[in-house]
């Protein structure tokens, strides 16, 4: 009897953990995405002030953010491509900052900004077209109501 109770408790703990609600998922995603905006602004501030520590620290934060599970809103090759572009540009920003190369930082910042724009364009396209070959991604976004 005791064993059964223990086994049930275990099952509840392991299997029955409640999934985060759509509202919670949305809140987590917003937090992550606005953190990304804050760090990219911080890189820009560092560029304006030639503050290389601020630049490399913020670029590192951007890389960490891009590795969070919530980042992967879409599981498509294109989304992965944009993610890689973004991460690579952020990596170059950090590297140039460590070399105190402000022009190099500025150029990589431009690259990263272009990756923001391209990925967002892709996200909008998928949203609008509701591409039939990406039902999982579309369903995921449909479950997470946009707040804006
Ligand atoms: C690989 C794709 C990708 C890249 C690169 C990317 N984003 Fe995003 N971004 C997203 C997705 C997906 C969302 C969430 C959209 C949603 O609300 O469902 C998002 C949301 C946001 C939001 C919140 C807006 C909203 O309506 O939810 C901001 C602000 C933002 N991104 C800024 C940036 C900035 C600044 C950069 C570059 C430094 C960037 N993003 C790069 C994919 C990307």
| Residue 73 DSSP code | S
Distance 83 CA to ligand 1 centre (A): 11
If you search the block for the tokens 């990406």, which residue do you land on?
Answer: 134
Is residue 135 predicted with pLDDT exceeding 80? no
Distance 6 CA to ligand 1 centre (A): 44
Residues with CB under 6 A from ligand 1: 29-30, 33-34, 36-37, 40, 73, 79, 82-83, 86, 112, 115-116, 119-120, 123, 141, 146, 148
pTM of the model as a whole = 0.81
- Crossing angle of helices 22-49 and 52-66, rounded to 10°: 160
Nearest CA to ligand 1 atom 12: 73
Nearest CA to ligand 1 atom 10: 120
Structural domains in the chain plus CATH codes = 22-143 (1.20.120.10)
**Alpha-carbon distances, residue 38 vs 18, 59, 92, 115 (angstroms):** 31, 11, 19, 16
pLDDT digits (tens, 9 = 90+) for 98-107: 999 999 999 9
pLDDT digits (tens, 9 = 90+) for 68-109: 999 999 999 999 999 999 999 999 999 999 999 999 999 999
Distance 120 CA to ligand 1 centre (A): 6
**Four-residue CA torsion sign, 45, 47, 48, 50:** positive
């Amino acid at each position: 009897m005791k064993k059964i109770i223990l086994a049930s408790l275990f099952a509840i703990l392991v299997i029955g953990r409640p999934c985060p609600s759509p509202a919670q998922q949305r809140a987590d995603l917003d937090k992550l995405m606005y953190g990304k905006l804050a760090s990219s602004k911080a890189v820009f501030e560092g560029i304006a002030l030639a503050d290389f520590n601020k630049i490399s620290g913020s670029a590192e934060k951007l890389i960490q953010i891009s590795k969070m599970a919530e980042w992967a809103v879409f599981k498509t090759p294109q989304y992965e491509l944009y993610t890689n572009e973004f991460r690579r540009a952020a990596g170059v920003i950090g590297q140039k900052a460590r070399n105190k190369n402000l022009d190099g930082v500025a150029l990589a910042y431009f690259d990263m900004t272009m990756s923001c724009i391209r990925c967002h364009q892709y996200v909008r396209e998928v949203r609008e077209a509701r591409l039939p070959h990406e039902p999982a991604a579309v369903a995921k976004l449909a479950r997470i109501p946009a707040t804006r």
